[in-house]
Amino acid sequence: MSDSISHIPPPVSPTHGTTLRDHVLAGMRAAPGATGEFTSLLSHISLAIRIIASRVRQAGLADLLGYTGEINVQGEAVQKLDAYANEVLVNVLERSGHCGIIGSEELEGARTAGHPGKYVVLFDPLDGSSNIDLNVSIGTIFAVLRRQDATSPPSVNEALRPGRDLIAAGYALYGPSTLMVLSTGQGVHVFTMDPNVGEFFLCQSNVRCPPRGALYSVNEGNHARWSPGVQNWNAWIKGDAKDEGRPYGHRYVGSLVADAHRTLLKGGIFAYPADKKSPKGKLRLLYEANPMAFIFEQAGGAAIDGGQRILDIAPSTLHERTPLILGSTEDVEAFRAFSTGAR
Ligand code: FDP
């Protein structure tokens, strides 16, 4: 009897040391005057992500693939999982009581909650729509702002602030495992969900984006529509110059979260530049570019729109688009030099 018991492995492996909650609570204890509301907000976001992850895993079995038949504010056909993920985030955040304002890719206008919550949360509930039905990695992206006056009635214009005002940003990556990457302005930390426990555990703390990489990520199908500067950058990065570390390898999943995550860990560059079809770029500033830019800068990387720092752009509308170039500082600088004609 005692022999068989001694062979039962411990329920939690030694790597399962720090949960996302432990991590956020430690940050709260270190912040004088913290009320616990921010910690609770992040716990609610993590809950929404775990619910979405569980449905993403069952999508093919639960009749959750395909389209709802509706068209969203971006003029795109809404997929069932997009709609589901949006509903989960909106419900969980509204019930948290911490959000005065919620903005989503799937909602036409920012929503004001019925109570004066302290925070503004902006999100893309399910990023990488074209990969949803293909079992290819997709994600959720979110950005958090603190309301400047939490006692006043919430106004949708409070969402229109530059990314440098963010107090937290993160993304979930629904891949072979579910990851949550989070920054509250003190470095970038990666948590992996243990599906048996239903909890995120810290697996990489203080991630740093290497100063230079060897991979580039861009939809080359848009080549003919790019400016001459971007075309020159593209020819340069593919050029054969072994002593300068070129050509770079090419990777493109087509889900921002997956392409950005690889770039964050391995270095290199992800680019969705402006082109003749999308002169303002394709990706959305407030809930795609800003949170990613915040994370990359926190990890020692960079994010620009071709010339300007993403986090300095003053937004004028909720769904505004921007070109987005992010990655290793040296690689982003090389892109800037080509696209502005300095090179
Ligand atoms: P998708 O259109 O599939 O939703 O957010 C939009 C986005 O995906 C990003 O995730 C991705 O990086 C990009 O668009 C892919 O665009 P292309 O299909 O034009 O390459």
CA 308 to chain centre: 20
pLDDT at 8: 61
128 lines ligand 1 (CB under 6 A): yes
DSSP 8-state code for residue 241: B
pLDDT in tens, the chain (343 residues): 444 455 665 555 545 589 999 998 888 787 777 788 999 999 999 999 999 999 998 877 767 777 777 887 777 777 889 899 999 999 999 999 899 899 999 888 888 776 678 999 999 999 998 898 899 999 999 999 999 888 887 888 899 999 999 999 999 999 999 999 999 999 999 999 999 999 999 999 999 999 999 999 999 999 999 999 999 999 999 999 999 999 999 999 999 999 999 999 999 999 999 999 999 999 999 999 999 999 999 999 999 999 999 999 999 999 999 999 999 999 999 999 999 999 8
Please list the alpha-helical segments (H only) found in 112-255: 228-238
* Alpha carbon of 40 to ligand 1 centroid (Å): 31
Report the distance separating Cα 44 and Cα 121, nearest Å: 12
Kindly state the tokens that stand for 29. Answer: 């204890």
129 lines ligand 1 (CB under 6 A): yes
pLDDT at 79: 82
* Alpha carbon of 174 to ligand 1 centroid (Å): 15
- Going by alpha carbons, the residue nearest to atom 1 of ligand 1 is 128
* Alpha carbon of 122 to ligand 1 centroid (Å): 18
Report the distance separating Cα 178 and Cα 201, nearest Å: 11
DSSP labels, 71-101: E-TTS-EEEHHHHHHHHHHHHHHHHHT-EEE
- Going by alpha carbons, the residue nearest to atom 12 of ligand 1 is 256
For the CA atoms of 115, 85, 184, 274, the dihedral, rounded to the nearest 10 degrees, stands at -110
Count helices and strands in the chain by DSSP H and E runs: 8, 17
pLDDT at 114: 65
Residue to mutate, 130, 140, 272, ligand 1, most ligand atoms under 8 Å from C-beta: 130
Phi, psi of 225 (to 5 degrees): -95, -5
Kindly state the tokens that stand for 300. Answer: 């020692």
pLDDT at 132: 86
Residue found by looking up tokens 């599906």 in the block: 195
Residue found by looking up tokens 């509250």 in the block: 184
Report the distance separating Cα 101 and Cα 214, nearest Å: 40
Report the distance separating Cα 272 and Cα 322, nearest Å: 9
255 lines ligand 1 (CB under 6 A): yes
256 lines ligand 1 (CB under 6 A): yes
- Going by alpha carbons, the residue nearest to atom 16 of ligand 1 is 254
The dihedral sign for the CA sequence 189, 259, 166, 115: negative
Which numbered atom of ligand 1 lies nearest the CA of 130? 3
Which numbered atom of ligand 1 lies nearest the CA of 272? 12
CA 307 to chain centre: 21
Report the distance separating Cα 264 and Cα 111, nearest Å: 32
